[in-house]
C-alpha cells in the first residue's frame, strides 16, 4: 500500500456519500417544507455530526412540462420559493444538496427527463439551482433509432455535460450517481463516469430483498474502491418489516461494503433504536475509511458451497482491510440463533503465527484475544457480528498443530505435517 498521506489525498470527494434521500420514505409526497424539516432533524438528532451530510431530493419535484425556453421548472405548489432558495438554506445548515433526473425522455414517475437536454440540465442543477449531486435514473429509454447508443453511451451524455460544465466554470463537478439497476453490469464501466452506480433493482423493506441484494453484490465486491462504489440502494433501516436484528445486519453490510449510506425513513417518527443503528460511529468509520477504499468480501459462504448464488442465504463470512485492523462480518441468515466460527487465516488480511485483539463494533467492547480461531456464540437469527481485529503480537509458543492450515504444512527438513497425521 502507498503512503497514507497520498491515499488520503486521492480519496478526497471519493468516499461513499452519506445523507438522506426522500424516495423510500415519501415517494412523490414531497415539498420544500418537508425537505427543510428533514434537514433540521438530521442536525437535531445528531445524524449530521456522524457524517450524514447530503440532503437529496428524488423524483416528482418538478412540473410535468418544461418551460417555454426548455428548462425544467420546480413544482410551483410544492416548491414555491424555488430551488435556489431551498439549496441556499440547506447549505447554510452545513449540508450539501442532491437532485434527481433521468437519462431518458422522462423520469420513472413521468416528469421531464434529461435526454437531449444534458448540458442545459447540468447547468440548471448546479449553476442556477445550486445542487452538488445528481442521481441519474434509467427510465423512458428512447427508441434505438433515436438514441443510437448502448448503455455506456447513454450515460456518457450527462457525464460529458457535467465534465464540460466543470471545465468552463472552474468549479468542482456535480457528483454523479448512476441509477442503472445492474442488468448492464455498470460496475464494469461506470467508474469512468460517476461516484457510484446502482447494482440491482430497487430495495424493499424486507429481509428477502436485503438478502437478495447482498447475494448479488457478493460477487462484485472487487469493483468498489476510492474511484467509485457499488450502490446497493437506499437504506431501509426503520422501514417496513425489518426487525431490529435485520436492520443491524442491513446497515452493517451496506456500510462495510462501502455502499453509499442514504437514510430514507420518516425522521419525525423514527425510533431511538433506529437512530442508534444509523449512528454507530465504529461501523461508519469503516465506510468512511480515508486509507482503505475497498469493500469487505466473502472468504467463506457457510451454508452453501463457496461461490454459490443464493438469494435467501448469501455468503456469511466476510473480511476486509481497514486503516486500523482487519474487519470481519459474520451474518446469520438462518431463522434461529447459531454459533459462528472461523479460522483467522481463512481471511487474506490476517497473518499466520500472530494473535489478534478483538473489538466488537456493535457492543463496543474488547472481547479478548483470538489465537488461530474465533467463535461468535449465539448470533441471533438474521443477526450480524461485526469485529475489528488488531495484531497483538506473536501467538503463544508451543501451539499444536504447527500450522493453522495443515495442507502442505512443512518443516525445514522437508517433512510434511499433513502426511504425518
Contact 59, 69 (CB under 8 A): no
Residues 192, 177: Cα–Cα separation, whole Å: 12
Query: Cell 463516469 appears where?
Result: 193
Contact 20, 37 (CB under 8 A): no
Residues 220, 231: Cα–Cα separation, whole Å: 11
Contact 257, 295 (CB under 8 A): yes
Contact 357, 389 (CB under 8 A): yes
The contacts of residue 306 (CB under 8 Å, 6+ apart) are 298, 300
Strands 338-343 and 373-379: antiparallel
Contact 201, 182 (CB under 8 A): yes
From 102, 121, 132, 137, active-site residue = 137
**Three-point CA angle 193, 194, 197, nearest 5°:** 120
**Residue 202 a catalytic site member:** yes
Query: 3-state class of 192 per DSSP?
Result: helix
Strands 354-360 and 365-371: antiparallel
The contacts of residue 296 (CB under 8 Å, 6+ apart) are 221, 256, 257, 318, 319, 320, 327, 329
The contacts of residue 320 (CB under 8 Å, 6+ apart) are 256, 292, 294, 295, 296, 297, 326, 327, 349
Distance, first Cα to last Cα, the chain: 39
C-alpha cell at 63: 412540473
From 31, 202, 225, 360, active-site residue = 202
C-alpha cell at 94: 452545513
CA distances for 38 relative to 10, 51, 154, 240, angstroms? 32, 15, 33, 19
Query: 3-state class of 99 per DSSP?
Result: strand
Residues 45, 34: Cα–Cα separation, whole Å: 16
**Three-point CA angle 74, 105, 148, nearest 5°:** 145
**Residue 289 a catalytic site member:** no
Contact 331, 318 (CB under 8 A): yes
Q: Which residues are catalytic?
A: 137, 202
Amino acid at each position: 500500500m502507498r503512503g497514507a498521506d497520498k491515499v488520503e489525498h486521492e480519496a478526497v470527494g471519493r468516499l461513499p456519500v452519506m445523507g438522506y434521500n426522500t424516495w423510500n420514505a415519501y415517494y412523490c409526497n414531497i415539498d420544500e417544507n418537508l425537505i427543510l424539516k428533514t434537514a433540521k432533524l438530521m442536525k437535531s438528532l445528531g445524524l449530521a455530526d456522524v457524517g450524514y451530510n447530503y440532503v437529496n431530493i428524488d423524483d416528482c419535484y418538478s412540473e410535468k412540462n418544461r418551460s417555454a425556453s426548455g428548462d425544467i421548472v420546480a413544482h410551483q405548489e410544492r416548491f414555491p420559493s424555488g430551488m435556489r432558495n431551498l439549496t441556499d438554506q440547506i447549505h447554510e445548515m452545513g449540508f450539501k444538496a442532491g437532485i434527481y433526473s433521468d437519462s431518458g425522455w422522462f423520469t420513472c414517475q413521468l416528469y421531464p427527463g434529461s435526454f437531449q437536454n444534458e448540458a442545459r440540465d447540468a447547468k440548471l442543477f448546479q449553476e442556477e439551482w445550486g445542487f452538488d449531486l445528481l442521481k441519474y435514473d434509467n427510465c423512458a429509454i428512447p427508441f434505438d433509432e433515436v438514441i443510437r447508443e448502448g448503455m455506456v453511451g447513454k450515460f456518457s451524455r450527462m457525464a460529458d455535460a457535467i465534465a464540460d460544465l466543470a471545465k468552463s466554470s472552474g468549479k468542482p463537478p456535480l457528483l454523479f450517481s448512476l441509477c442503472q439497476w445492474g442488468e448492464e453490469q455498470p460496475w464494469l464501466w461506470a467508474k469512468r463516469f460517476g461516484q457510484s452506480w446502482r447494482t440491482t433493482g430497487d430495495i424493499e423493506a424486507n429481509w428477502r430483498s436485503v438478502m437478495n441484494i447482498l447475494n448479488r453484490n457478493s460477487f462484485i465486491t472487487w469493483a468498489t474502491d476510492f474511484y467509485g462504489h457499488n450502490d446497493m440502494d437506499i437504506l431501509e433501516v426503520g422501514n417496513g418489516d425489518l426487525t431490529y436484528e435485520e436492520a443491524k445486519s442491513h446497515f452493517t453490510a451496506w456500510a462495510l461494503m462501502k455502499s453509499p449510506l442514504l437514510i430514507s425513513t420518516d425522521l419525525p417518527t423514527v425510533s431511538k433504536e433506529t437512530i442508534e443503528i444509523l449512528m454507530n460511529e465504529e461501523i461508519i468509520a469503516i465506510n468512511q475509511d480515508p486509507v482503505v477504499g475497498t469493500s469487505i468480501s466473502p472468504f467463506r459462504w457457510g451454508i452453501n458451497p463457496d461461490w454459490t448464488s443464493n438469494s435467501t442465504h448469501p455468503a456469511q463470512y466476510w473480511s476486509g482491510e481497514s486503516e486500523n485492523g482487519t474487519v470481519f462480518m459474520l451474518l446469520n441468515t438462518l431463522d434461529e440463533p447459531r454459533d459462528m466460527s472461523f479460522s483467522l487465516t481463512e481471511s487474506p488480511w490476517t497473518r499466520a503465527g500472530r494473535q489478534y485483539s478483538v473489538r466488537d463494533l456493535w457492543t463496543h467492547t474488547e472481547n479478548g484475544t483470538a489465537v488461530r480461531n474465533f467463535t461468535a456464540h449465539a448470533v441471533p437469527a438474521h443477526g450480524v457480528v461485526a469485529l475489528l481485529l488488531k495484531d497483538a503480537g506473536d501467538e503463544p509458543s508451543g501451539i499444536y498443530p504447527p500450522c493453522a492450515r495443515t495442507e502442505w504444512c512443512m518443516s525445514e527438513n522437508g517433512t510434511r505435517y499433513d502426511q504425518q497425521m
